[in-house]
Amino acid sequence: CRICGILWNLSFNDRNKELIVEEGFLPIIKQSMIIHININNIQDSICCTLYNLSINDRNKGLIVEQGLLSILKQSMITHINNNDIQYSICCILWKLSRKDRNLELIVEEGFLLIIKQSMIIHINNNDIQHSICGTLGNLSANDRNQELIVEQGFLSLIKQSMITHINNNDVQNSICGTLWNLSFNNRNKVLIVEKGFLLIYEQSMITHIN
């Protein structure tokens, strides 16, 4: 755990983000996550390290190529009720989903169902809602994902999050980014209005008029 904490601290440095990966730490990080899948503090410190590493554009591809998506998925399931781990993993997904190829791979790995469950459990947590909606916003830049996100019932959850966090600038911004992308799909244009979003848009605009 101390080594993971050291890597976490080191990975705040931009050059170190590259060197840690070049030194071959990703397979070791992966193995540590597998062995200690049930230990909260190890998973949390590893995920915080991976978040820092995923800020680097090249690392976004390498993290996925090394098979860490499946481990992140398992960690997210195992620690579904842990605020810190959910937040860290959602932030990682948010960063990874800025790479076009990862938009498909994250959904193919089955993350939508887990993200939905996390969104329900942590509906009152500003940070988790912000990071989840940021991830959904990136994922919904993909045409097929626009359909899948709606098919999996996210509109109702997004609506609930928008109401619950009506006064939070960050959550409102990430939700609006998600809905913007989803609304490029013609079918979604109809469904968004049918779900009653216009009234919430109005309330959000009034609340955040400045």
- Compute the distance between CA of residue 110 and CA of residue 65 in angstroms, rounded to an integer: 16
- pLDDT over 70, % of the chain: 100
Please, where are the H alpha helices in 55-125? 57-65, 68-78, 83-96, 100-108, 111-121
Report residue 5's pLDDT band, with 50, 70 and 90 as the boundaries: confident
Residue 1 has pLDDT above 80, yes or no: no
Using one digit for the tens of pLDDT, what is the confidence trace for 116-165?
999 999 999 999 999 999 999 999 999 999 999 999 999 999 999 999 99
Report yes or no: 17 and 56 within 8 Å, Cβ to Cβ.
Answer: yes
Return the pLDDT at 58. 97
Using one digit for the tens of pLDDT, what is the confidence trace for 178-208?
999 999 999 999 999 999 999 999 999 999 9
pTM: 0.94
Cα angle 93-96-99, degrees, rounded to a multiple of 5: 140
Report yes or no: 44 and 8 within 8 Å, Cβ to Cβ.
Answer: no
